[in-house]
Amino acid sequence: MSKTAEIQAFLNKEVAMILRLKESEVNENASLDDLGINSMAFVELLIAIENKFGVQLIQAGITKADLSSLKTFALRIEQEL
């Protein structure tokens, strides 16, 4: 499994847990907004990412474009590793 695929699988799992969905219900091509991630859920996701990968994305300067899909977000996280 590639690092991007590992990160994406982690994001799918975390988003599903935060939104109380099945992992199969998380569309990896949808934006975080479209998935229903609000500001509180986003903070929860950022904390999970920091705990798992040691990446502080706010300090890294993530943009709205980085959140256009879970795939794009996974690629951005990988750039910071």
DSSP labels, the chain: --HHHHHHHHHHHHHHHHHT--GGG--TTS-HHHHT--HHHHHHHHHHHHHHH---HHHHT--GGGGSSHHHHHHHHHHH-
Q: Around Cβ 73, how many Cβ atoms within 10 Å?
A: 23
Q: Which 3 state secondary structure label does DSSP give 58?
A: helix
pTM, rounded to two decimals: 0.90
**Domain parsing of the chain, residue ranges:** 3-80
Q: Does domain 3-80 have CATH number 3.40.50.11740?
A: no
* Confidence check: pLDDT of 18 > 80: yes
Kindly report, residue by residue over 29-56, the tens digit of the pLDDT.
999 999 999 999 999 999 999 999 999 8
